[in-house]
Chain A
Amino acid sequence: NAGVMQNPRHLVRRRGQEARLRCSPMKGHSHVYWYRQLPEEGLKFMVYLQKENIIDESGMPKERFSAEFPKEGPSILRIQQVVRGDSAAYFCASSPPGKSGDEQYFGPGTRLTVT
């Protein structure tokens, strides 16, 4: 059973470009969470999604950031017009349906570098 998959693992973008980060949850999981980890800081919650629904986006910046989890395919975290401050590791986690889960399983992360 494959774990949480994220791609790309490393992404380099110039200022002003768009970044698209993908997350495929574990098989059978329908809850997806995105976290951001800045250098020397803890993980910060960004958004919680279920299939076709954004449940809580309270941790996501109001501008330039959006997330989706379509009926088919991976969850996407999209950052428009990236700035240097967006450089961070972005982790996706998933948990099973029905119960939001005692445990969130994390993917390997996407390390975004904005030059």
Chain B
Amino acid sequence: GQNIDQPTEMTATEGAIVQINCTYQTSGFNGLFWYQQHAGEAPTFLSYNVLDGLEEKGRFSSFLSRSKGYSYLLLKELQMKDSASYLCAVRDRNDYKLSFGAGTTVTVRA
């Protein structure tokens, strides 16, 4: 099975940077995903890491260390619209099933 932990809530100021950590303990690993979910809406894909290192996509970056069972999502130049829940998900070795953390609610304040 999978055990995925991430902080429940984070608050930051518009224009600032926030880092959301995710730790996982898995019986198998085949990739880590970050999704953004606004209240009442579908999760939308942000990033995917399968190898160690940093993946950068505009204002969002994601990092993975497989040996440490650790990932983070970095949000730069925060905007009010970034207020949402951020979900860390691990895909198991069978290559399809995603196991999600409970999500981190990020609140961006003016």
Instruction: Name A's B-contacting residues (CB within 8 A).
Output: 4, 31, 33, 35, 40-45, 48, 55-56, 59, 91, 95, 100-109
Contacts and interface: CB of A to CB of B under 8 A. Distances in A.
Given A102-B31, A102-B48, A103-B48, A45 B97 contact: yes
Interface in B56-78: none
B98 A42 contact: no
Contacts of B20: none
Q: Among A31, A102, A108, which residue has the most Cβ atoms of chain B within 10 A?
A: A102
Given A103-B48, A108-B41, A43 B95 contact: no
Contact of A42 (B42, B44, B97, B102): B102
A106 B43 contact: yes
Given A31-B96, A100-B95, A100-B96, A109 B42 contact: yes
Interface in B80-110: 87, 89, 94-103
Contacts of B97: 33, 45, 48, 56, 59
A106 B42 contact: yes
A37 B104 CA distance: 14
Which range contains the number of B residues in contact with the other chain? Answer: 20 to 34
15 contacts: A33-B96, A35-B100, A40-B102, A42-B101, A42-B103, A43-B87, A45-B97, A48-B96, A56-B97, A102-B31, A103-B48, A104-B98, A106-B35, A107-B42, A108-B41
Contacts of B102: 40-42
A105 B95 contact: no
Given A33-B98, A102-B31, 12 more contacts: A40-B102, A42-B87, A42-B101, A42-B103, A43-B89, A43-B100, A100-B95, A100-B96, A102-B48, A104-B98, A107-B42, A108-B41
Contacts of B44: 106
Closest 8 CB pairs of A and B: A42-B100, A100-B96, A106-B42, A42-B102, A43-B100, A106-B43, A108-B42, A100-B95
